[in-house]
Structure 1
Amino acid sequence: MTELILHHYDFSPFAEKIRLAFGLKGLAWRSVTQPSYLPKPELLPLTGGYRHIPVMQAGADVWCDTRCIARELDRRQPAPALMPPELFALSTAVESWAERDLFWPAVRFASGTNADTMDAQLHVDRAAMRGKAAPSHDRLRRVARRSLAQLRPQLAIVERMLDHGRPFLLADAPCQADLAVYHGLWFLSALEIDCSGELAPLPRTLAWMQRVAALGYGRIEPMSTKEALSIAARSSPAPVGPSIDDDALPPLGSMVSIRPEGYVTGAVVGVLAVVDRFDLGVRRTDAELGELMVHFPRVGYEVVEAGA
């Protein structure tokens, strides 16, 4: 099977989620470090314009967004499952809550607290992703204080989720819900000024985080960006599976434009090649890399006919 390549950077919380997914499954993978802000000249040719991290690559197939990546990992190696069938609905609900109501207050609190220690261009870049002007450091610190007021009630929920006494959030074994809750809390200590003191009053949460961290990252071997691009250029996309007919989307074979909701980042344009209940694939051609298949989750992404 084609080797798995993860494009990421060290302090990305969503990349941490997938690094731990590799660890949970005991997978071998290649590590490609990408910039944390634009320009990203050796990522965008792969994705066609999608600039978020992480991105997973296998040959000329590219997966964007951690939910889509996780489903592909479960397809390739079903056990141990990130999404066990009996926990699918509950884990999906926990993931949705964690990556909205828990994640954003945690990230804004840690980032604002570290306003003076982070690369100034990172603040400019993240504001531009949402079509906003670069914030002042004073504003970032004010946002941090407001975010802390939102974060503390969410942390109390995590602690209560562990009242059952099991080692992980939903069962005796870890699943995607654990990784989704963990990575926002992990970010509290990922920057120069450690904000994880907010977790000190939460003994069950701290013990659970140690168990999640112990999953490790699997077996890692570094790879250069140039080598990853060369692999894509030498490869062809894998054959696609069957598609469903969904009249809420443009017809298969249409030229479509896709971008994450809530952002003003560049859209990926290509031919809608495959659609299932949760994901879709866009076939596109890069002048240097040739034909690529870029996979996205359906939830959280706007898909329209190109030029509409």
Structure 2
Amino acid sequence: MSDLILHHYPTSPFAEKVRLILGHKQLAWKSVFIPMVMPKPDLTALTGGYRKTPVLQIGADIYCDTALIGDVLEHIAPTPTLYPEAVQGAARIVAHWADSALFTASMAYNFQPAGVAQVFAGVPAEGVQAFVADRTAMRGGAARMASSDATSTYKSYLRRIDSMLHRQDFLFGSQPCVADFAVYHPIWFTQERTPALAGILDATPEIQRWMARMKAIGHGTVGKCSAEEALQTAHSATPVAVQAEVFQDDHGIALGHQVVIAADNFGMEPTQGELVAATSTRYTLRRSDDRAGTCHVHFPRVGFTLKKVSP
């Protein structure tokens, strides 16, 4: 198997989710740091347009979205599992809620003035302005939750999570599952990046103890890799053959057509390519780039739209 290469930056909550999963599975991986804001030319040479963080690269196969990355890492290292059979459905639903509703409320809470001052300590004014403009563009014009509403919502969510941890170490029992990693990363940002606002956790002691258990998992074995080395790795590799026989057509678009895939509500930059696989859980596009060569770019079905490119 080719090296696992994670394209990320240190303060990304979603990247922390994947870094901790890599640690949970005791995997070795290489780290490529990417910019926090656009442009991201080295990353988009691999993805074709997708810009969110993180992205997992294995040779010439590029995996977008942390839900799909979790599935890929589970296939590579099935134990310890992210998806215990008895609670797999519930764990996936909680993970999806955490990556959407919990994340939205927590970040609106974290980016109050006191939090902003800590996140951007020492950053020039133009850097702060660039970040704000970038995230506004990612929302596609949608309004951000007001901090007062976010505070109320976040407190309610934290109480519910705290109750799930009563008399057990993790959300669904004695071992962490995908739900733990998804719930952890928005709260991690509050605790680690905006400690001036971390007092909101004082009312939920079970969460505080659980956070310590999660942090102790660590990030696995990390090596360094430059963006140029990652591009060279993709260019010299061949994408893994796809399983076309499991094709699931929900759009009336046959394999082989040029399509565009984009996130459905945040960071909606499109990726265009040839549809070479569409299973019950993911799409795969084949695309070529002068720097990255021919790659397969993979997306989950949930959270993404698929459209045929007009002739």
Please indicate the TM-score interval, normalised by the length of the shorter structure.
over 0.9
Note if contact 2:83-2:178 (Cα within 8 Å) is conserved in structure 1.
yes
Report percent identity of matched pairs.
Answer: 36
Which one is further off, 25-34 or 105-114?
105-114
Deviation at 1:124, TM superposition (A): 0.8
Note if contact 1:101-1:154 (Cα within 8 Å) is conserved in structure 2.
no
Secondary structure at the residue paired with 1:93? Answer: helix
Is 1:131 the counterpart of 2:133? The answer is no
Q: Name which of 188, 195, 198 aligns with 2:197.
A: 195
Q: TM-score of the superposition, structure 2-length normalised? A: 0.92
Take 1:245 and 1:40, find their aligned partners in 2: how far apart are those partners?
Answer: 32
Amino acid at match of 1:285: S
Secondary structure at the residue paired with 2:2? Answer: coil
Task: Name the residue aligned to 2:276.
Answer: 273
Note if contact 1:112-1:143 (Cα within 8 Å) is conserved in structure 2.
no
Note if contact 1:62-1:295 (Cα within 8 Å) is conserved in structure 2.
yes
Take 1:186 and 1:262, find their aligned partners in 2: how far apart are those partners?
Answer: 23
Q: Return closer, same or farther for 1:174/1:192 CA change in 2, 3 Å cut-off.
A: closer
Is 1:296 the counterpart of 2:299? The answer is yes
- Any residues of structure 2 matched to 1:101-112 within 5 Å, and which? 101-112=101-112
Task: Name the residue aligned to 2:10.
Answer: 10
Take 1:210 and 1:282, find their aligned partners in 2: how far apart are those partners?
Answer: 40
Take 1:19 and 1:182, find their aligned partners in 2: how far apart are those partners?
Answer: 12
Task: Name the residue aligned to 1:238.
Answer: 240
Amino acid at match of 2:137: A
Q: TM-score of the superposition, structure 1-length normalised? A: 0.93
Take 2:231 and 2:104, find their aligned partners in 1: how far apart are those partners?
Answer: 32
Take 2:26 and 2:289, find their aligned partners in 1: how far apart are those partners?
Answer: 33
Take 2:294 and 2:213, find their aligned partners in 1: how far apart are those partners?
Answer: 41
Q: Return closer, same or farther for 1:224/1:194 CA change in 2, 3 Å cut-off.
A: farther
Two-structure CA RMSD over aligned residues (Å): 1.8
Is 1:115 the counterpart of 2:124? The answer is no
Task: Name the residue aligned to 1:261.
Answer: 264
In the alignment, structure 1 segments of 5+ residues that lack a partner are: none
Deviation readout 1:180-200 (Å, 9 max, x if unpaired): 111110011343553211101
Take 2:247 and 2:39, find their aligned partners in 1: how far apart are those partners?
Answer: 37
Deviation at 1:93, TM superposition (A): 1.2
Take 1:27 and 1:218, find their aligned partners in 2: how far apart are those partners?
Answer: 5
Deviation at 1:129, TM superposition (A): 1.4
Q: How many residues align?
A: 301
Amino acid at match of 2:46: L
Deviation readout 1:24-70 (Å, 9 max, x if unpaired): 00000001000000011111000000000000001110000001101
Secondary structure at the residue paired with 2:287? Answer: strand
Note if contact 1:255-1:306 (Cα within 8 Å) is conserved in structure 2.
yes
- Any residues of structure 2 matched to 1:34-113 within 5 Å, and which? 34-113=34-113
Amino acid at match of 1:265: M
Q: Return closer, same or farther for 1:172/1:50 CA change in 2, 3 Å cut-off.
A: same
Q: Return closer, same or farther for 1:190/1:125 CA change in 2, 3 Å cut-off.
A: farther
Deviation at 1:238, TM superposition (A): 1.2
Deviation at 1:293, TM superposition (A): 0.3
Deviation at 1:235, TM superposition (A): 1.0
